[in-house]
Amino acid sequence: MSWRIRERAPGQGRGGAAGAFAAVCLCWSAGAAAHSASDAYLDLTVTRGGEQGGSLVHGQWDIALRDLDFVLDLDDDGDGRLTWREVRRHREDIARYAFAHLAVAGGPEHSCSLKPGIQEIDAHADGAYAVLFFDVHCKRAPQRLSLDYGLFFGIDPSHRAIVVLHDGEETSTALLSPQNGRIEVPL
């Protein structure tokens, strides 16, 4: 039950300032909004391989293909269907874009970096997602690792990342938003 009165183009229709509207309405039911907003899923597993210079944290990052399409135009032929060929062709763009929005730090002298791994596809309840695997390596193992997440926040403040952190038997969760985009991982 909500609709739009669109402003009249100059010189069109009824005169007078009070009537400066033309009628283009759009829809009528504010009580029936459809729901799915943008989510990503970040699954982190503490591996503690740091002593040997190995991976400290292993990550799996699920990002909706339709979100990626919005920023990267993955649908090359513009037909409204993303094929595996199109997604595969853009794998490097996807990794570059995503990992530019996830920073890892272990504090000074630890020199930590994030190493992208393979990319796969996963089907979620609301559509297909690109799955980006990655590992975090540090020159010297820090006591605490922080990850700064900023994917899509600039273009969609309602984007959320749902983080699940596995450390041995323990599992914890966090919700990342533009107001709270940092994860601290104790090692």
Task: Name residues contacting other proteins, limited to 90-119 (CB under 8 A).
Answer: none
Structure tokens at 128: 């297909």
CA separation for the pair 40, 64 (Å, rounded): 7
Within 20-79, the residues that bind other proteins by CB under 8 A are 21-39, 41, 43, 45, 58, 60, 62, 65-67, 69-70, 74-75, 78-79
State CA 36 to chain mean position distance: 14
Residue 168 binds other proteins (CB under 8 A): no
Q: Which of 82, 104, 145, 147 binds other proteins (CB under 8 A)?
A: 82
CA separation for the pair 161, 105 (Å, rounded): 19
3-state secondary structure of 68: helix
CA separation for the pair 36, 33 (Å, rounded): 10
Evaluate whether 174 touches 163 at the Cβ level (below 8 Å).
Answer: yes
Per-residue interface string for the shown chain with other proteins, residues 128-157, x marking contact by CB under 8 A: x--x----------------------xxxx
- Candidate segments 82-90, 96-104, 106-114, 137-145, binder of other proteins by CB under 8 A: 82-90
CB of 106 to other proteins, least distance (A): 22
CB of 111 to other proteins, least distance (A): 26
